Chain A
Amino acid sequence: MEQEHQHITSYRTYAIVLTALLFLTAITVFVTWFDLEALTIVVAMAIACVKVTIVISYFMHVKHDKLVFKLMVGMVFILILVIFLILFSDYLFR
């Protein structure tokens, strides 16, 4: 049977990832102090997307996974993006 490559991530990397996530959470809270009007949701979603990407890449090991799994995750991102775009073809043009 095919021997699959096992990648071991260091504690240091995990610590950096954790710090980055906490920092981004703080930013999420921080931006709520400002009224960004129509951009509010865009900024919130952008920060959330960065956090999700970090979690999926490191905690869920997709960074070290095969291309096919990266493509699957990428496909989901694209799907959500397209759904958002279509959804806003209603809200932005009402």
Chain B
Amino acid sequence: MEISAIENSYLKHGTKYKGILGWLTSTDHKRIGLMYMYAIMIFFLVGGLLGGLMRLELFRPGQDYITAQTYNAVFTVHGVIMIFLVVIPGLAAVFGNILMPIMIGARDVAFPKLNLFSFYIYIFGAILAISSQFLGKGAPDTGWTFYAPYSTDTNTNVVAAVLAAFVLGFSSILTGLNFIVTIHRMRAPGMTWFKMPLFPWSLYATAWIQLLATPIVGITLLMIIAERWFKIGFFDPNLGGDPILFQHLFWIYSHPAVYIMILPAMGVITEIIPTFSQKRVFGYKAIVFSSVAIAAVGYLVWGHHMYTAGMSVTARWFFSLLTFIVAVPSAIKVFNWISTMYKGSINLQPPFFFTMAFIFNFMIGGLTGLVLGSLATDIHVHDTAFVVAHFHYIIFGGMGFAFLAAIHYWFPKIYGRMYNNKLANTSCALIFGGFTLLYFPQFIIGLQGMPRRYFDYLPKYEWGQVFSFFGAIVLGIGILIMLINLFKSARKGKIASSNPWGGKTLEWTIASPPTVENFEEIPIITEGPYEYK
């Protein structure tokens, strides 16, 4: 009976075409989500290998394997790939696409063809981003932030990389637009706003950021090209421009972009904790409003990236104040997660372990963010390895671990099969241990003064770089074990039931994997999403 669920599912039926063409032309939200996932995994591995190359070079002081110029290119490419191709689309494009329509009781997103178009724009942007590394006069060396006036002067291939980010922005905007319309128009009858699960809520808040913030960076990137090609003085002081204007415009988008990455991650965690605690989520409305508050206040804190850039004192203290305010809704979520677990029937399964690792990392990343958000301490740690550690604790420790929690949570729903629990737990332990070993020493050597983006360093920082190198190896082994487990299980794993974790949201009421149409009949919603007994 269960095998027939796979045979009848979206994995086997799609368009009139069979095989790969059937996938490439499918407008089914689940297939598009999976295509995003495979693409993102490939880019993650490429970005990860570049990260490994940096760690190898930093293993000892002095030049060992690559030149300083190559090192500059490697951290730029690592950043561009990881930010624009992996973490920004990450959770929303993959799990948002696969699960959001099901969780709100819809058969697909509002604009399925636009959804497929967004995927192809993403792929086109990705090709541009990758090719920018090989075309022209060398890979861009500006860092993923493309700071002017260097980005308007350098001879490296900045234009192609900037265009790639511009094109990828369109994919993000269209996905956001699609999700907003879907959530507004296609919720199942009876699913009022406050009966909607919290993952779609987080996607809704995220979609507004995608829609409103992304155009700003698009225009900013075009301004770089205009300055490079036509010598229009936006940013270069020699042409009458203001370099800090670039930083303002860039961070007006790129700080909210951090919330594009982390809000869906928080949504995933909010789905997993009630399921594995078998308990109603604590403070449903507080979580909803904190998502909206993070999205709103997150727009207004961009200047905390620029304390040392030469802004006015008034602007600096104002941004610092706003930064401390945005910490409040983030903390509300953490308290709600812990309160949900309190007196619950905790079921220790791999998704729950990844979730615990997320909360642990997110707390460290969040609290060190306050060190950076405070004007006085930021002067000391600005542009040091401390920032690198903080950033990776939020992005990888937060969004990355939430992605891994999500794939382990929804794997049986997506593939209709179960993975090996023991291997999943082992990989979780290795990934968490490797991650900690890799990034925690960076906090310490950062506090001691190790600058970021330097390919050489004083011998006193060597111990931290050595620890980080071995951490990277452990992390790599953990990821490899996880990938082997998941890929093998997707093909040959034990058949999963439709609701292996005892979840209450709509995706657990339909077959694993779902059919093309998701529901035989659109459900009528009469109660909230987390009504555990």
Contacts and interface: CB of A to CB of B under 8 A. Distances in A.
Contact of A94 (B248, B252, B311): B311
Q: How large is the interface on B (under 10, 10 to 19, 20 to 34, 35 or more residues)?
A: 10 to 19
A82 B300 contact: yes
Contacts of A82: 299-300
A83 B315 contact: no
A79 interface: yes
Contact of B300 (A86, A90, A93): A86
Nearest to A82: B300
B248 A89 contact: no
Given A76-B212, A79-B212, A83-B252, A90 B299 contact: no
Given A90-B312, A93-B314, A83 B303 contact: no
A82 B315 CA distance: 13
A16 B86 CA distance: 48
Most buried by A among B300, B303, B310, B315: B315
B318 A86 contact: yes
B248 A87 contact: yes
Contacts of B315: 86, 89-90, 93
Given A76-B212, A79-B212, A83-B299, A93 B252 contact: no
B244 interface: yes
B1 interface: no
A37 B67 CA distance: 49
B314 A89 contact: yes
A35 B152 CA distance: 30
B376 interface: no
Contact of B248 (A76, A90, A93): A90
A87 B318 CA distance: 11
Interface in B308-328: 310-315, 318-319
A94 B309 CA distance: 12
Interface string B216-255: 0000000000000000000000000000100010001000
A90 B303 contact: yes
A83 B261 CA distance: 21
A90 to B, nearest CB: 4
A41 to B, nearest CB: 12
B314 A86 contact: no
A90 B311 contact: yes
Interface in A48-94: 76, 79, 82-83, 86-87, 89-94
Contacts of A93: 312-315
Most buried by B among A76, A79, A86, A93: A86
A5 B252 CA distance: 38
Interface in A14-59: none
Contacts of A90: 244, 248, 303, 311-312, 314-315
A83 B314 CA distance: 15
A94 B311 CA distance: 7
Given A76-B212, A79-B212, A83-B252, A89 B318 contact: yes
Contacts of B244: 90
Contacts of A94: 310-312
Contacts of B252: 83, 87
A29 B290 CA distance: 45
A77 to B, nearest CB: 11
Contacts of B314: 89-90, 93
A21 B72 CA distance: 49
B164 to A, nearest CB: 25
Given A76-B212, A79-B212, A86 B303 contact: yes
Given A79-B212, A83-B252, A89 B300 contact: no
Contact of B299 (A79, A89, A91, A92): A79
A85 to B, nearest CB: 10
Contacts of B310: 94
Contacts of B313: 93
Most buried by B among A79, A90, A91: A90
A89 B319 CA distance: 10
Contacts of A83: 252, 299-300
Contacts of A86: 300, 303, 315, 318-319
- Nearest 9 pairs between A and B by C-beta? A93-B312, A90-B315, A93-B314, A94-B312, A89-B315, A90-B311, A90-B312, A89-B314, A89-B318
Given A90-B312, A92-B312, A93-B312, 17 more contacts: A76-B212, A79-B212, A82-B299, A82-B300, A83-B252, A83-B299, A86-B315, A86-B318, A86-B319, A87-B248, A89-B312, A89-B314, A90-B248, A90-B303, A90-B314, A93-B315, A94-B310
17 contacts: A76-B212, A79-B212, A82-B299, A83-B252, A83-B300, A86-B300, A86-B319, A87-B248, A89-B312, A89-B314, A89-B318, A90-B315, A92-B312, A93-B312, A93-B313, A93-B315, A94-B310
